[in-house]
Chain A
Amino acid sequence: MWNYTEKVMDHFLHPRNAGDIPDADAVGEVGNITCGDALKLYLKLDPAKQNIVDVKFQTFGCASAIASASALTELIKGKSIADAAKITNNDIADYLGSLPEEKMHCSVMGMEALQTALANLQGKGASTAACADSHAEHGGAYDPDGLDRVVCFCFSVTERKIRDVIRANHLTKVDEVTHYCKAGGGCGGCQDEIEKILNDMRGQAAPTPDDAARKCPATPPKLTNLQKMTKVQQVVDQEIRPGLKADGGDLELIDIDGDKVIVRLRGACAGCPGAHVTLKRWIEAKLREMVSPDLIVEEQVE
């Protein structure tokens, strides 16, 4: 049983500004049905395109997701775009009294939908202040090539988003990161990666054996076919399968055709909706790192 505040229950049972705006000036949509929650935010501006005169939302999700969206609409209705752009997930949580730690991602989803809507305004010729602000927040670390990589494939969370929630909410632990943006809450395969990001942001990134290994194949020696096959089999058996088995899953190596490695997911992995994307990427990354950078992993579906 969640310890929801009265205000959360009030906004859940009596959501404010629910619905859509057919001629909205901007729409911000985040989340999806697979991840278990989604929010679509509609903004209507005044003729000068400076103030939010109307706002509506649609939410797929739990009580706190609905309450967070409802709270967000109350917070930004009537505000100027510049002021709305300053709203953070903490403002949403504060407005609701508080949210359970595990549900903080609901407030983050609200903030993200707002930022997405405001960013979309840019395309419509409205004020770009919001977007500039939000980019400025990334500061010197802003790097379009590196930070937009997906770290958590179960919930499609990028490194940028993870860094944002860590910075904005002063997070120090992996499970806190999970509570705020869901990253690491699925198969758990990216928890080490999140730990590294946390260490990096603390400025005390200690090199791990994994890092050292990663640096090695900078100029990998060209393998013969037989070497490649042996090596792939070895990595699958020693590195990949034990990790999957710990989660009740498994993997079968079906074939190796040139640079194509064909596998089949077994056990828990076979039915996990996130597994296909996650594991393919993870297995591929592992094989590329430890065998050859040209390998492509393909999944054989039963």
Chain B
Amino acid sequence: MNKNVVYVDNNATTRVAPEVLDAMMPFLTDFYGNPSSIHTFGGQVHKHIENARAQLAALIGAEPSETIFTSCGTESDNAAILSALENDLRRRRVVATRVEHPAVLSLCKVLQQKGYHVDYVPVNNKGQVCLDALCRMVTDDTAIVSVMWANNETGNVYPVQEIAEIAHQHGALFHTDAVQAVGKVPIDLKKTRIDFLSLSGHKLHAPKGIGALYVRRGLKFNQFLIGGHQEYGLRAGTENVSGIVALGRAAQLAAQHMDEERTRVAALRDYLETGLLKSCPDARVNGNPASRLPNTTNISFEFIEGEAILLRLNEFNVAASSGSACTSGSLEPSHVLRAMGVPQTAMHGSIRFSLCRYNTKEEMDLILEKLPPIVRLLRELSPYGRETAKSHGRP
């Protein structure tokens, strides 16, 4: 294992917490029975699933019966939106923001090809959703409004409760992709009118391959995976028992560490952000610092390109990510930064640092030591480097 990695890419995925690994391990070794079996060996596993469901439900303020385990956040997103469309066949419109995750946006594109109408809510230059536009877009023909709780690239947190109300005024359902928010900010679904909420285990220190979907009680839910009677008949397929147990334990740990996210992790993030802005000229934060996840900062280093920055950071074992086109294999930079109208000079040089409770101040100090010289060096290499010198040459 790579003990020395400085891992600041926690919005991509997280390390499995040791406590989580301990909790799930028995279900990979001794307790391998099928929870649907009639014999004790298999059947006894079932109560561990229900225990995990209660643990997860507690983290998001839901009833256990409102919580269905899925394979990932994407499955949850797809299941929620498709279920809403099937619920009321007369409603043929969907509203989503332009900064949603591809799990929602790519589905929307497919829906458009199938004849549904999708309205995309614009955002301002801080990435805030334009609520006026959203209000205009939701109509009595809207089946579902889908707005993420927090954005994966900028960390922006959106007013999902308010938006849920707007959706309901028109009889539409409301779904939120809370994959980035769950475990990082307090969520109490009892106090909201949110109909669907998607979450993913591997973003909160459970392993990959396990997710969940909250479906508000009383709501008609149309199965996405059809087959056996698992998950109250709402999601077929033999349960990912070890993953489910892991997610339950991870949810419990997240609740315990919630205050730490808001205090220590946020302070580390701010320390890194302030330090980088101070030591690197022509750097700017993308997003809305006033309403942001405690763990995320997205900084553009102007006149240079993100992949080059990342691969040089990689030489020092620092793992971060970028919204640059080159890192994704696409030729265009991140749809989130484009939707925000980030200037061309800054569009390609964005770096996202996403922290977690395992990060330390020493790690931030390493980044603060290594990154500024990388930025300087790449600017010296860049034909636009002089523009930087120009803007800072004057006293």
Partners in one complex: yes
- The answer on a CB contact under 8 Å between B326 and A33 is no
The answer, among B112, B308, B344, B382, for a CB contact under 8 Å with A273, is B344
Q: CA of A36 to CA of B345 in the docked complex: distance in angstroms? A: 9
**Does A163 sit within 8 A of B, measured CB to CB?**
no
**Does B280 sit within 8 A of A, measured CB to CB?**
no
Q: Distance (Å) between the CB of B362 and the closest chain A CB?
A: 25
Closest residue of B by beta carbon distance from A187: B332
Stretch at the interface among A53-61, A114-122, A292-300: A53-61
**Does B329 sit within 8 A of A, measured CB to CB?**
yes
The answer, among A12, A66, A267, for a CB contact under 8 Å with B122, is A267
- The answer on a CB contact under 8 Å between A185 and B383 is no
Chain B contacts with A in 120-139, Cβ cutoff 8 A: 120, 122
- The answer on a CB contact under 8 Å between A155 and B345 is no
Q: CA of A186 to CA of B122 in the docked complex: distance in angstroms? A: 20
**Does A37 sit within 8 A of B, measured CB to CB?**
yes
Which residues on A sit within 8 Å (CB–CB) of B381? 15, 18, 58-59, 66
- The answer on a CB contact under 8 Å between A273 and B325 is no
Mark A48-82 against chain B: 1 for CB-CB distance below 8 A, else 0: 00000000001111111110000000000000000
Q: CA of A65 to CA of B335 in the docked complex: distance in angstroms? A: 22
Stretch at the interface among B157-165, B220-228, B247-255, B299-307: B299-307
Q: CA of A62 to CA of B381 in the docked complex: distance in angstroms? A: 11
**Does B391 sit within 8 A of A, measured CB to CB?**
no
The answer, among B119, B324, B382, for a CB contact under 8 Å with A58, is B382
Given known pairs A60-B305, A60-B384, A267-B98, the reply for A185 and B332 (CB within 8 Å) is: yes
Closest residue of B by beta carbon distance from A186: B332
Number of A-B residue pairs having CB atoms within 8 Å of each other in the complex: 105
Mark B314-358 against chain A: 1 for CB-CB distance below 8 A, else 0: 010000000011110111110100111100110110000000000
Sorting the interface of chain B by its residue count into under 10, 10 to 19, 20 to 34 or 35 or more gives: 35 or more
**Does B376 sit within 8 A of A, measured CB to CB?**
no
Q: Distance (Å) between the CB of A202 and the closest chain B CB?
A: 25
Closest residue of A by beta carbon distance from B125: A271
Which residues on A sit within 8 Å (CB–CB) of B329? 102
In this complex, how many residues of chain A approach chain B with their Cβ under 8 Å: the count is 40
Q: CA of A36 to CA of B330 in the docked complex: distance in angstroms? A: 11
**Does B105 sit within 8 A of A, measured CB to CB?**
yes
- The answer on a CB contact under 8 Å between A270 and B122 is yes
- The answer on a CB contact under 8 Å between B348 and A271 is no
**Does B311 sit within 8 A of A, measured CB to CB?**
yes
- The answer on a CB contact under 8 Å between B383 and A186 is no
- The answer on a CB contact under 8 Å between A33 and B348 is yes
- The answer on a CB contact under 8 Å between A246 and B112 is yes
Which residues on B sit within 8 Å (CB–CB) of A154? 332
- The answer on a CB contact under 8 Å between A60 and B122 is no
- The answer on a CB contact under 8 Å between B312 and A13 is yes
Q: CA of A270 to CA of B32 in the docked complex: distance in angstroms? A: 53
- The answer on a CB contact under 8 Å between A36 and B331 is yes
- The answer on a CB contact under 8 Å between B324 and A62 is yes
Q: CA of A15 to CA of B378 in the docked complex: distance in angstroms? A: 11
Mark A255-288 against chain B: 1 for CB-CB distance below 8 A, else 0: 0000000000001101111000000000000000
Q: CA of A61 to CA of B308 in the docked complex: distance in angstroms? A: 7
- The answer on a CB contact under 8 Å between A185 and B382 is no
Closest residue of B by beta carbon distance from A38: B383
Most buried by B among A29, A33, A102, A268: A33
Q: CA of A38 to CA of B304 in the docked complex: distance in angstroms? A: 10
Q: CA of A61 to CA of B306 in the docked complex: distance in angstroms? A: 8
**Does B64 sit within 8 A of A, measured CB to CB?**
no
**Does A40 sit within 8 A of B, measured CB to CB?**
yes
**Does B113 sit within 8 A of A, measured CB to CB?**
yes
**Does A220 sit within 8 A of B, measured CB to CB?**
no
Q: CA of A40 to CA of B304 in the docked complex: distance in angstroms? A: 14
Most buried by A among B330, B340, B383, B385: B383
Given known pairs A155-B331, A267-B120, A271-B339, the reply for A248 and B305 (CB within 8 Å) is: no
Given known pairs A59-B383, A60-B384, A248-B98, the reply for A36 and B333 (CB within 8 Å) is: yes
Q: CA of A178 to CA of B330 in the docked complex: distance in angstroms? A: 10
- The answer on a CB contact under 8 Å between A272 and B122 is no
Which residues on B sit within 8 Å (CB–CB) of A272? 338
Closest residue of A by beta carbon distance from B330: A185
Closest residue of A by beta carbon distance from B119: A267
- The answer on a CB contact under 8 Å between A62 and B122 is no
**Does A34 sit within 8 A of B, measured CB to CB?**
yes
The answer, among B108, B120, B304, B331, for a CB contact under 8 Å with A182, is B331
Q: Distance (Å) between the CB of B197 and the closest chain A CB?
A: 24
Q: CA of A38 to CA of B308 in the docked complex: distance in angstroms? A: 13
Closest residue of B by beta carbon distance from A105: B331
Interface residues of A (CB under 8 A from B): 9, 12-13, 15, 18, 29, 33-34, 36-40, 58-66, 102-103, 154-155, 178, 182, 185-186, 245-248, 267-268, 270-273
Given A186-B331, A268-B339, 16 other A-B contacts at CB below 8 A? A13-B315, A36-B332, A58-B381, A59-B382, A60-B383, A62-B306, A66-B308, A185-B330, A245-B118, A248-B98, A248-B118, A267-B98, A267-B122, A268-B335, A271-B340, A272-B338
Query: Please, could you name 28 A-B residue pairs with CB atoms under 8 Å apart, sorted by A?
Result: A12-B311, A13-B315, A29-B383, A33-B303, A33-B348, A33-B384, A36-B324, A36-B325, A36-B347, A37-B326, A38-B384, A58-B381, A59-B381, A60-B383, A60-B384, A61-B326, A62-B308, A63-B308, A246-B113, A248-B98, A248-B108, A248-B109, A268-B338, A271-B122, A271-B339, A271-B340, A273-B338, A273-B344
